[in-house]
Amino acid sequence: MMSDKNKYKVDEKGMYGRFGGAFIPEMLQPNIENLKNVYLDIINSDAFQKEYKSLLKDYVGRPSPLYFAKRLSEKYDTNIYLKREDLNHTGAHKVNNTVGQILIAKHMGKDRIIAETGAGQHGVATATACALMGLRCVVYMGEIDIKRQAPNVARMKMLGAEVVAATSGSKTLKDATNEALRDWICNPEDTFYLIGSVVGPHPYPDMVARLQAIISEEIAWQIKEKTSKDYPDYVVACVGGGSNAAGSFYHFMDDERVNLIAVEASGMGVDSGETAATIALGDLGVIHGSKTFLMQSDDGQITEPYSISAGLDYPGIGPLHAHLHDTKRASILSATDQDALDSAMELTQLEGIIPALESSHALAVLKKKKFKKNDSVVITLSGRGDKDMETYMKHFGF
């Protein structure tokens, strides 16, 4: 079944079909060119692989379990397996990427790390990796997000990072990304920009996907141990920028027996104006150096998304996912705030696992699609719900 290999991988121009590329100002061109020339050699080198795998095992705590959710499976009359990225160090899949990119930065001789963060999860994972390696760390975060996410700001500071408020535009994730890019323009020599998702100019989407691919690499052997088949029938993940989905899909993209489902956040509803369902809206453009679907006005101004989940409210989507949608390789569903809250409560009470709000969007697939009794359905639980307790308390009245 492994025909037409690499159909869904990035091409030599940095494109996934008609998406991707590197739409960057000339000031960033040498940095991007340099990274493009070295990232594959570094990732494929024995030295990198040895160090990366060792850190994933002993520091991050991998492999993360593939857990058969018995009671949830009984309720939906199918076989549900949860990929437990929530059990990673720092509480989400983000750390797979930051540990990998920090090693790439070190190989490139960079000693100053910059990152953008929305809710602070990627910022914390970056600050963690920098503390581990003894590198300087600057995290850009929207002024509004800094106020909303005080515990994560404190974690980053405790880890030694400098947190800089992005005060331009809407003062949220997209503006923090702009500020990080501006920093990189001004500091091209010593600085490495550690992007947190499969977004941005080529080679970032491919680099981040490769570093998150450990998720599907493990699913592939774990599912063999748990079922009579050597592949799952479905892999389901939530998608904002799309890094945990890219990692969950990566090793299955060319195996058409495996159905891929990505769940976007539709906030108050796709047509409500208060949404982050980028693909459902389907408007093509260029954001942060990548051609993809994004949320914009009729005049091409990028608009602010909305979701209850801070990790999913990015106005664009990784070019890989735009391509998987375009080629119909993946189905893209959407879940509202309420769907996510309902699914979070359901998982907590049936399985004793409090999921992150982002991951709860993936769980909402169970209410949107009927699976067969014999199907094996892997749902990636990208993060744990500790960071969302305030939202849960407010909505459930605890």
Partner 1 sequence: MNRLQKLLKEQKDIFSVYYTAGYPNLNDTMPVLNALQKSGTHLVELGMPFSDPLADGPTIQKSSEQALENGMSLKVLFEQIKDMRSSIDMPIVLMGYFNPVFKYGVEAFVKKCSEVGVDGVILPDLPFDEYQDNYQDLFEQNGISNIFLITPQTPDERIKLIDDNSNGFIYMVSSASVTGAKKGLSDEQITYFNRVNNLGLSTGRLIGFGISNKETFQTACDFASGAIIGSAFVKLLDENGASEKAIADFVKNIKNN
Binding-site ranges for partner 1 (CB under 8 A): 13, 21-27, 29-31, 168-169, 174-175, 178, 181-182, 185-189, 284-289, 294, 296, 298-303
Q: Kindly state the smallest distance separating residue 141's Cβ from partner 1, in Å.
A: 16
Q: Return the structure tokens found at 299.
A: 């005049």
Nearer to partner 1, 178 or 338 (CB): 178
> For residue 220, what are the CA distances in angstroms to 38, 72, 386?
28, 22, 28
Identity of the residue, 14 or 100, whose beta carbon is nearer to partner 1 in the bound complex? 14
User: Quick one: 287 or 378, whose CB is closer to partner 1?
Assistant: 287
Q: How far is the CB of 23 from partner 1 (least distance, A)?
A: 5
DSSP-derived secondary structure for 201-217: STTHHHHHHHHHTHHHH
Catalytic residue among 83, 85, 110, 116: 116
> Is 382 tagged catalytic?
yes
Tell me the Cα Rg of the chain.
19
| Largest Cα–Cα separation, the chain | 57
The least distance separating partner 1 from the CB of residue 296, rounded to whole angstroms, comes to 6
Residue 132's CB: how many other CB atoms inside 10 A? 15
Would residue 116 show up in a list of annotated catalytic residues for this protein?
yes
| Closest to partner 1 by CB, 296 or 307 | 296
Cα dihedral across residues 183, 185, 190, 195: positive or negative? positive
Closest separation in Å from C-beta 64 to partner 1: 35
In 3D, which of 257, 235, 255, 256 has the Cα closest to residue 246?
A: 235
Secondary structure class of 309 (helix, strand, coil): coil
Q: Which is nearer to partner 1, 106 or 288 (CB)?
A: 288
Which residue type occupies 204? Y
Catalytic residue among 73, 83, 85, 94: 94
CB of 132 to partner 1, least distance (A): 29
- Those residues whose C-beta lies under 8 Å from the C-beta of residue 322, and which sit 6 or more positions away, are 16, 17, 19, 279, 292, 293
In the annotation, is 218 catalytic? no
Active-site amino acid positions: 94, 116, 382
